[in-house]
């Protein structure tokens, strides 16, 4: 089924974020985007996040018997990667009169200054890095978010997880190969594997070296072109890098794998894809897809309900917002 959708160039993936662990938000996003018709939901590989996403999907399938269960994908990295980090700082080192640009720029309101808590809420930070250069005294740092692939083997075997993504960076063939060997016991159980990468010189040679390292081979493979990572909510122009990289990788005519865009994708991506006639298999949306829904929920004149399904009016409005984005690639 999923392969047919990829073949028909209509694949929609929601990226919740490899480091994003806001469980109520993930449950809501999974619920809303399942009802909106997403084909895949990409989340952090930790058990609580997986449970929250699965719960959201299950509620959606109960509510709408025609809804189709999206694949649940978890993301890993084969080395240092901006998607796998969290920002941290010691609030005691802040300037007393600082205008707090960090707080204003954070897209997930992870940075708090209140009577109860000062600093960055780890679960809400997904490592976008926007706060880092704005601190006048440079006290914001990042720490790596480490996940152990063996920890989720049981979830793959019981089909709570259907797909895995590996984030790699240029010229890391050895690291990628060694990570693939760790995954090898579960590769045959996965419906698909995605490889996410930015642009670099000699990219075709690099991707071919990754293909040679894929033993055993995956059932299906997606090349995720990570144009401008974690930036789709900043503005229309961020999609340009994703489009360019998508076209470049399609032109490689690699022997296998679907090409899917990510990194800077937003509502302008599909119209520009169609205009430029770039026949990718699909598009993954991260910060933009989260923002349009979370802006609606956070803008309510009441707290976000714990069980959004108990408020069908609000759920319906949120699904309509999500569906507008999903329907672009489906039409
Ligand atoms: S701006 Fe980005 S990196 Fe900084 S705290 Fe917010 S989510 Fe984390
Ligand atoms: S910008 Fe730096 S000094 Fe200012 S509030 Fe944020 S972390 Fe503290």
* CATH code where residue 48 lies: 3.20.20.70
The C-alpha angle with vertex 275 and arms to 224 and 317, in degrees rounded to 5, equals: 70
> Ligand 2: does its nearest atom lie under 6 Å from the Cβ of 135?
yes
The pLDDT tens digits of the residues spanning 237-248 come to 889 999 999 999
Query: Looking at the 3D structure of the chain, how many domains does it have?
Result: 2
> Ligand 2: does its nearest atom lie under 6 Å from the Cβ of 94?
yes
Alpha carbon distance, N-terminus to C-terminus of the chain = 17
Section 85-104 average pLDDT: 97
Structure tokens that stand for 208 in this block = 């071919």
Same domain, 60 and 102: no
Minimum CA distance residue for ligand 1 atom 7: 125
Evaluate if residue 2 carries a pLDDT over 90: no
CATH of the domain at 98: 3.30.70.20
Q: Whole domain around residue 184: which residue ranges?
A: 2-82+149-330
Confidence of residue 229 (pLDDT cuts 50, 70, 90): confident
State the closest ligand 2 atom to the C-alpha of 103, by its place in the atom list counted from 1: 6
C-alpha span between 218 and 45 (Å, rounded): 19
pLDDT at site 277: 95
Same domain, 126 and 218: no
Same domain, 313 and 203: yes
The bound ligand whose nearest atom lies closest to the alpha carbon of 125 is 1
DSSP state of 106: -
Residue 172 CA to ligand 1 centre (angstroms)? 26
C-alpha span between 119 and 110 (Å, rounded): 8
C-alpha span between 271 and 328 (Å, rounded): 8
Section 179-203 average pLDDT: 97
Residue 84 CA to ligand 2 centre (angstroms)? 22
C-alpha span between 285 and 271 (Å, rounded): 14
> Which among 144, 159, 178 is the end of a domain?
144
Same domain, 116 and 232: no
Q: What is the mean pLDDT of the chain?
A: 96
Section 116-127 average pLDDT: 94
The bound ligand whose nearest atom lies closest to the alpha carbon of 106 is 1
Residue 142: exposure state from Cβ atoms within 10 A (0-12, 13-18, ≥19): middle
Same domain, 78 and 197: yes
pLDDT at site 236: 84
Residue 237 CA to ligand 1 centre (angstroms)? 21
What share of the chain in percent tops pLDDT 90? 93
Q: Is the pTM here over 0.75, yes or no? A: yes
Residue 246's closest CA among 258, 234, 232?
Answer: 258
Phi, psi at 245, each rounded to 5°: -70, -40
Confidence of residue 273 (pLDDT cuts 50, 70, 90): very high
Evaluate if residue 321 carries a pLDDT over 90: yes
> Ligand 2: does its nearest atom lie under 6 Å from the Cβ of 89?
yes
Confidence of residue 17 (pLDDT cuts 50, 70, 90): very high
Evaluate if residue 226 carries a pLDDT over 90: yes
Residue 4's closest CA among 325, 274, 281, 195?
Answer: 281
> Which among 144, 162, 190 is the end of a domain?
144
Same domain, 104 and 78: no
Same domain, 218 and 292: yes
Residue 199's closest CA among 160, 229, 222, 176?
Answer: 229
Evaluate if residue 1 carries a pLDDT over 80: no
Same domain, 228 and 216: yes
| Lowest-confidence region among 26-35, 87-96, 226-235, 270-279 | 226-235
Residue 21 CA to ligand 2 centre (angstroms)? 23
Evaluate if residue 293 carries a pLDDT over 70: yes
The pLDDT tens digits of the residues spanning 137-147 come to 999 999 999 99
Residue 128 CA to ligand 2 centre (angstroms)? 16
Place of tokens 């490899």: 18
**181 Cβ contact list (under 8 Å, min separation 6):** none
Residues 129, 131, 133, 139: what is their CA dihedral angle, to the nearest 10 degrees? -110
Section 32-57 average pLDDT: 97
Residue 233 CA to ligand 2 centre (angstroms)? 23
pLDDT at site 108: 94
Residues with CB under 6 A from ligand 1: 87, 105-106, 108, 110-111, 120, 125-131
> Ligand 2: does its nearest atom lie under 6 Å from the Cβ of 192?
no
pLDDT at site 285: 97
Confidence of residue 149 (pLDDT cuts 50, 70, 90): very high
Same domain, 93 and 52: no
Same domain, 89 and 165: no
> Ligand 2: does its nearest atom lie under 6 Å from the Cβ of 98?
yes
pLDDT at site 235: 85
Strand duo 11-15 + 40-43: pairing: parallel
Residue 19's closest CA among 44, 40, 39, 47?
Answer: 44
Same domain, 233 and 156: yes
> Which among 94, 119, 144 is the end of a domain?
144
Same domain, 140 and 249: no
């Amino acid at each position: 089924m999923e392969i047919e959708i990829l073949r028909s160039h209509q694949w929609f993936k929601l990226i919740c974020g490899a480091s994003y662990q806001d469980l109520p938000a993930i449950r809501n996003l999974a619920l809303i985007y399942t009802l909106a018709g997403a084909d895949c939901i990409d989340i952090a590989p930790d058990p609580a996040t997986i449970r929250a996403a699965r719960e959201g999907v299950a509620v959606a399938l109960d509510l709408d018997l025609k809804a189709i269960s999206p694949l649940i994908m978890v993301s890993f990295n084969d080395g240092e990667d901006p998607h796998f980090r969290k920002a941290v700082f010691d609030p005691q080192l802040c300037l007393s009169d600082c205008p707090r640009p960090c707080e204003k720029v954070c897209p997930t309101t992870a940075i708090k200054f209140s009577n109860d808590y000062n600093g960055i809420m780890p679960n809400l930070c997904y490592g976008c890095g926007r706060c880092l250069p704005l601190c006048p005294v440079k006290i914001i740092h990042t720490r790596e978010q480490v996940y152990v692939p063996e920890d989720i083997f049981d979830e793959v075997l019981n089909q709570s997880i259907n797909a895995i993504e590996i984030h790699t960076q240029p010229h890391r063939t050895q690291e990628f190969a060694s990570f693939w060997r760790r995954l090898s016991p579960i590769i045959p159980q996965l419906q698909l594997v995605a490889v996410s990468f930015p642009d670099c010189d000699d990219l075709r040679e690099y991707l071919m070296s990754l293909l040679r390292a894929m033993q055993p081979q995956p059932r299906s493979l997606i090349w995720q072109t990570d144009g401008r990572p974690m930036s789709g909510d900043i503005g229309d122009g961020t999609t340009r890098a994703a489009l360019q990289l998508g076209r470049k990788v399609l032109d490689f005519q690699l022997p296998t794998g679907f090409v899917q865009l990510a990194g800077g994708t937003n509502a302008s991506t599909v119209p520009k894809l169609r205009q430029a006639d770039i026949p990718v298999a699909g598009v993954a949306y991260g910060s933009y897809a989260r923002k349009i829904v979370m802006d609606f929920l956070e803008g309510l004149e009441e707290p976000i309900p714990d069980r959004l399904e108990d408020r069908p009016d609000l759920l319906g409005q949120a699904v309509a917002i999500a569906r507008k984005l999903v329907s672009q690639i489906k039409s």
